[in-house]
Homo-oligomer: A and B are copies of this chain.
């Protein structure tokens, strides 16, 4: 079983029939559509799909073709900055695949999108050729309109594949690879927002804290708490439990306790098992020992044989 995840974002959040047609591209052998969300305010849809890397890449390419046919960015409005009908496609390695595999899939797809659909593509995060393109905002600056109106030809902004002009209605697409991201919040039993800001600064990588941690403080007035809201972008480097302990100890040093924590959205079994390993001091533990994961391996094998 070799599994990869893709979380493509499409610039359509108001016409469910369009999102359904895009999502249909992910109903194919060896690909599993896990989630499909649309947001009218941001006028944006997010698909979560898991599957065999090659099958998943082909599903993403088909979905791009549908989005290119049905979404016209010259007529698109919404709060979220965007640059393409298919805006971004991050790939994330799961069981049996590596970061290198995800980079390889992302780069191959970027070439195919240009060849098949004449949509120029940028490579970002781990798939970036240019270190200045690791972060999306640098690529996306000014959105579709700025790129269309000439920014795409400016120094350092030419697409990685194709171009030099945007697709007239579908814009450009960014394809990337990254580790699984865990959204993890620690709510402190205090209303002192400054304390929360100090701890967020201390824990986040950009100001010298723990590697692969982004953090900000959020005032949760309605519940009388201050939240240290974190994105853990590589839990192999900084596991969830380590981030928790850092924040809990920093708060305790100022006489403040943790009220509770939150894990937002999906989390991988590996990251969860790592918490248990740390908390219980378990030396050797494999996610293969988790009954549901063993069942998943058996089912996945059968599905593969049947398709």
Q: Which residues of A contact B (CB under 8 A)?
A: 3, 5, 32-35, 50, 94-95, 180, 184, 240-241, 244, 258-263, 265-269, 272-273, 275-276, 278-285, 287, 289-296, 298-300, 302-303, 306
Partner of A283, one of B262, B289, B300: B262
If A50-B291, A292-B296, A295-B296 touch, whether A258 touches B281 (CB-CB below 8 Å) is: yes
**A291 with B268: CB separation less than 8 A:** yes
Min C-beta distance of A28 to chain B, whole Å: 12
**B265 with A295: CB separation less than 8 A:** no
Min C-beta distance of A266 to chain B, whole Å: 5
**B289 with A244: CB separation less than 8 A:** no
**A50 with B295: CB separation less than 8 A:** yes
Min C-beta distance of A246 to chain B, whole Å: 12
**A240 with B291: CB separation less than 8 A:** no
Contacts of A180 on B, CB cut-off 8 Å?
291
Besides A50-B295, A262-B282, A272-B272, 14 more A-B contacts (Cβ < 8 Å) are A3-B295, A32-B299, A33-B298, A34-B298, A241-B280, A262-B283, A266-B289, A269-B291, A269-B293, A279-B279, A290-B292, A292-B292, A296-B296, A306-B306
**A294 with B34: CB separation less than 8 A:** yes
Min C-beta distance of A182 to chain B, whole Å: 10
If A275-B276, A279-B275, A290-B269 touch, whether A295 touches B262 (CB-CB below 8 Å) is: no
Contacts of A298 on B, CB cut-off 8 Å?
32-34
Closest to A294 in B: B34
